[in-house]
Amino acid sequence: GAAGRGGPSGAMAKNGIGMAIAYQGEHGAYSEAAARQLFGSVLGEGAALLSYQGLPQFADVFNAVQTGSAMYGIVPVENTLGGSIHANYDLMLRFSGLHVVAELDFHVNHCLIASPACAKADIRVVMSHWQALAQCDGYLRAWGVERKASFDTAGSAKMIKEKGLLDTAAICSALAAEAYGLEVLARNIQDVQFNHTRFLLLSREACAVIPMPGPSVNVKTTVVFWLPHTSGALFRAVSAFALRGLGVLKTESRPVPKGQLTDLKGQIEAAIGEKFPSTLKYSYVFYIDVAAHAASDEMRSALDHLREITPFVRVLGPYPTGGILTDDIAAKVRAAMPPPSMQAKSTVGGLTIGVIGFGKFGQFMSRRLAEKHRLFVTSIQTKSETAAEMGCTWVPWESAVNEMLTTHRVQVLIIATSITSFRHVVSRLPMALLQETKPLVVDVLSVKTYAKQVLMEYLPADCDILCTHPMFGPESGKNGWHGLPFAFEVVRSSHWERTAKFLGIFEESGCRMVSMQCDEHDKQTAASQFLTHLTGRVVAEHGCEPTLIDTVGYQNLCLIADHVCKDSFDLFYGLFKFNPCSAEQLQLFKRGMEDVERRLTDRIESEAMGKDHNMNKLHLSSLLSNITGSRTSQVSTLSRQLQEEGQTINTALSVSEPYYGPPPEVVAAAREESTGSGRNAEQGDVELRQAICDDLRKRKGLEYQTDQIILSCGGKQAIYQALLSICEEGDEVIVPTPGSGSYHDLAKLCRATPVEVETLAEDGYQLRPQQLLTALESCSSRCRALVLCNPGNPTGAVLSASALEALAEVLRMPAFGHIFVLADEVHERIVYDVEHVSFATLPGMRNRTLLINGFSMAFAMTGVRLGYLAVAHEGVAEAATRLQGLTTSRPSSIVQRCGLAALSGGKPVEDWVASRVQELKLRRDLMLRRLQTIPDVEVKAPQGTFFALINLRKVFKKAGAKVKTTEDFCLKCLKEWRVALVPGEAFHAPGTVRLSFAGKMEEFQAALTAFEACVRSAAP
C-alpha cells in the first residue's frame, strides 16, 4: 500500500466512509498518537477501535476531509521548539470549506525503540526524522552512535520491522513501537522536556454546540484576514479586538500562495470596487487566535469592526481548547464505533471454515486462519501435503463443497479463486444444499461490485453474503496484518453473531476494518490499487534496476515494480476487466503521460526558438516529429527543381518507375471510363476484386473471396491500413533492412515501434530463420508483425520457397502465434530466372498473411495509384475496410477500370509484361557488367525488381578518398556530373546507393558512365 496507509483496527462510520480520522504520516506517527489522545477523552480505550488513516501529505488530509472520505482530520500547526508549521496555515486558507472544531496540546515524548531481539549495546545506528534527531542531539552525542535521517519518525520504525534491522534503533512514539512489535529501550530522550505540539481537528461542519467560556471550558476563535499595504493597518486590525478586552493569543502572517491570489484578488476587488494593486509582489494574510467565543457580543462587534478595515475576513472557529470534544462531535464519533458484538474478541470457540481455492492467496490466508479455527481446503490441483503442513484438512475437488457442507458442516465458505474463474466456480455450487445449510459465503476478490453481482445472481435469497477485500497479500502481509486495510460490505446477514465473529478474526489480527459499499470500493481501488499495479508493471516492463546512486524515490519505484509483479498477471487483468473504473484510470494515466511529454517537448521547442516557454501556441501532432518521409521522393524532387531551373539532370539511375507506359489495353480503358462517374463499395469494384481473386488463384495457388480484397490508392495505403488494423500504441513491427524507409514511418504513424533486423550481402540480403528467432525473442510480447518485402527493394533479393518455409517454421512456434506477416509482393511479376512464391501459400500462413500487391510496377501504372490488400483474417479485412471508408473511400472508378483491363487483358497483356521483364533483365545484365569493371564497387546481382544495391564502403575507406559517406557521394555526382542517385540511408543501409535500371537506355548508359567517373574521382 501507499505510505502511511497503516492504522489500527476499527470499524467505520455507518455511512460507509472509508476512514474516520485522517492524519499525515505512517501508522504510529505522533499525529496518530495525538488523534488517539483527543478521541480518548470521550471514548476512553474505545478510541483504539476507531479507524485512523495515515496519508502521505498534509494536503491529502485536508482534501480527505473536504471530499468526505474522512470524518475528521488532525494536523499540527505549532511546536514549542520548531515554531509554526506554515504549510498547514496555507492549507487552511486554500481549503475554505473546512472548520476547526477542537484543539489539543500534545506533549512530544521521544522514545528509543528497536527490535526485541537486540539490546541497546547492539545499536550502531539511530534513524528518524531530522527534527527528532536534532531534538535528541545531546542524548545521541553522549552515546556516540551514527545518525541517519529518514522521511518519517514512524516510518523509521516500520523500516526496522520490515528489513529486520538488528543494529538500528529509531526515535519515535511509543505508539510506533506497539504498531510494529518493537521494544522501547528508553523514553523521554529529548534534550528539552518542554516539547509540545499544538494540533487542530478539522471538519466539514462547524461545531453545533459550544458552551461559552467558563471555569472548565476555554474557547478560541481563529480569524484569517487580508490587509492593504497602508501605514498602521495591522495596528488598527488588532485594535478591533484589544479595544473590547479580547485577548489575542497568537498572530501569524503568511504570503498568499500564488495559486490562491487570483481568488483572493477577485473577492477583494468585488468588496472595494476597484482593481487590486498590480504592482505588489507580495500580498499577506494574517491569522490570529482570539480567546473568545465567536458568538459573544464582544467578538461579533470586533469582527464587524475588522470588516470595516478589510474586505476579506474568514472565521475558522470557534472551538474548545484543552483537548475537549463538543457533545455533537462526541455523538458522531460514538456512531462510528462498531456494535458491541464486533468489539467482542472471538476467543471463545473457533469457526469451521471451508476455503475454495488453495492457490497463493488462499494458502496465505489459510495459514493464519488455521491458527485458531478448523479449516477445510480444496482446489483443482491436489495440494494435500501443503494443507497438512498448515494444519488444514484437504478435501478432494470433485466433491469438496458437498463434503464441506454436509460432513464437516462448515459455518463459513470462503471463495478464494482467481477473479477470472470466480463466476464459473460460483455458478457450480450446490444451491439447494446452500439453501439448506445456510453458511456465510465470503468472497475475497480485489474487485467488489462484480463479486457482489455474481453472488446475488446465483446464491439462494436466504444465504448470507459477505463481500471482503483483504488489501494485502503474501508480500505486504508477511510481517503481520497489523494496520493493513480490510474492506468489507455485509450484503446479507441473518446470523449477525457469526458474521461479526468472522470479521473479528481480522480485527484481532490488527487489520484496519473499513466498512464500504462495493461500488465505492471499486471507485477508490481503481485510483489506488489498479493504478499502483499499472505503474509497477509499466516500470517493470522497461526495466527498473538498482544503481549506485539510487534516490529514495527511485528505490520506492523499484519496490512497487517488484511487489506488483509477484502477483499474477491474471490478478492485474481481473482488476482491469471486472472493475469498469479501471479503464477510466488507464485513460487518465495515458493522458497524463502525453500531457507531460507535450509540456517537455513544447518547452524544448520554445527555448530553441528563443521564446517564452509558457506562451500559448498552436500545436502539431507529435506523430509528425518522428516521420522522416520518403528520401527517394526528396531526391526526385530536387532533380526536378534543378531541371526547372534550366539544368539537365540525368535521373535514369534514381527513378523508381519504368521508362515505358502502361499496356495499350490499360490506356484504352482509362479513356473509355473517363466519361463515367460510377461509384462502388468501399472495398472497391467487385468485378476488379473478383479478377484479383482469379489472378491469385491462377498464378499463385491462393484462394481468396472478394470480401477479402481491399482496393487502395497505391500499396502504401494498403500497408498503412493493414498495420493500423493490427497495431496498438507501443506495439513492435520487425522490419528487415536494407528496406524501404516507408515501413518504419508507417509503423510509427500507427504508434508502433519499428525493430530493425539487418540482412547481409553475403546471405543474399535474405532474412535467416535464426535472425528472425533472435529478433522475436528479444522483442517484447508487443511484437505484432514481420515485414517481408519479396522481391526486396532496394536489393532485388528474392526469397526461395525453402527460405520462406524456414521463416514460417519459426513463426509456427507456439510463442509466436500472434505474429502477422506483412508480405509486400508488389514487384512479384518482375523476377529473373527464379520463381516467386507467395508467403501466404505456406501451410498455416494464409490467415496470418497481410498480402500487399498492386499495379504500379508490373503494369507501369505508377501514376494511376492502385494497390490492394488481400487478407484472409476476417477481423483485419473488416477493420481495413472501415478505415478506408473514413479516408479515401475507394480508388476512382477510372483507376479501377485500368486495373481490370490489366488483369483481364489475356495473352496480349501477359506477353507485354513478359517482354518488359526481358528488357529489364538485359539492362540488369548490362549494368552488372559495367559495375564489375569499377574497382572496389560491390554488388549482389538482383533476382527481381529493377533496382540493385551498390556497396561503396571500400571506396570510402581507400587512402586519399575525397568522400566518406554516400550522402556526400550522391551530392558530388549531382553537382559535377548532373546525375541523380538515391543514397542507401533512405533504406537504412549507409555506405550504399540504390541504382535503378528502369530508365531510358541512352540516359541509362550515360548515367552509368558518369557513375563510374564519380567513383574513380572520389577515390583516385
Catalytic-labelled residue, pool 197, 221, 468, 849: 197
**Beta bridge mates, 523:** none
State the greatest distance between any 2 C-alpha atoms of the chain, in Å, as a whole number.
117
Tell how many helices (H) and how many strands (E) occur in the chain: 37, 35
List the beta strands (DSSP E) in 16-82. Answer: 19-24, 52-55, 70-79
Cα–Cα distance, 234 to 239 (Å, whole number):
8
Catalytic-labelled residue, pool 39, 58, 106, 199: 199
> What CA–CA distances, in Å, run from 441 to 319, 411, 512?
47, 9, 22
Q: Are 28 and 180 in contact (CB under 8 A)?
A: yes
The C-alpha cell at 619 is 500545436
Q: Which residues does 442 contact at the CB level (< 8 Å), separation at least 6?
A: 412, 413, 414, 415, 466, 467, 468, 502
The C-alpha cell at 628 is 522522416
> What CA–CA distances, in Å, run from 972 to 257, 524, 1010, 1013?
63, 66, 11, 11
Cα–Cα distance, 481 to 507 (Å, whole number):
9
Residue 771, amino acid: Q
DSSP states of 214-257:
-SS--EEEEEEEE--S-TTHHHHHHHHHHTTT--EEEEEEEEPP
Cα–Cα distance, 245 to 543 (Å, whole number):
67
Cα–Cα distance, 798 to 791 (Å, whole number):
5
To the query of whether residue 199 is one of the catalytic residues in this protein, the response is: yes
Q: Among 857, 854, 851, 630, which Cα is nearest to 742's?
A: 630
54 CB burial (10 A radius; 0-12, 13-18, 19+) = buried
Residue 228, amino acid: P
DSSP states of 125-187:
EEEEEHHHHHHTHHHHHHHT-EEEEES-HHHHHHHHHHHT-SSEEEEE-HHHHHHTT-EEEES
929 CB burial (10 A radius; 0-12, 13-18, 19+) = exposed
Cis peptide preceding 318, ω within 30 of 0:
yes
Cα–Cα distance, 704 to 211 (Å, whole number):
88
Residue 221, amino acid: T
Cα–Cα distance, 580 to 576 (Å, whole number):
7
The C-alpha cell at 13 is 462510520
The C-alpha cell at 582 is 479501471
**Beta bridge mates, 82:** none
Cis peptide preceding 738, ω within 30 of 0:
yes
Cα–Cα distance, 247 to 298 (Å, whole number):
11
Question: Helix/strand/coil (H, E, C) string of 873-919?
Answer: CHHHHHHHHHHHHCCCCCCCHHHHHHHHHHHHCHHHHHHHHHHHHHH
Triad 539, 163, 372: Cα angle to 5°: 105
Cα–Cα distance, 65 to 62 (Å, whole number):
5
Cα–Cα distance, 267 to 272 (Å, whole number):
9
To the query of whether residue 969 is one of the catalytic residues in this protein, the response is: no
Cα–Cα distance, 983 to 990 (Å, whole number):
8
Which residues are catalytic, by number? 197, 199
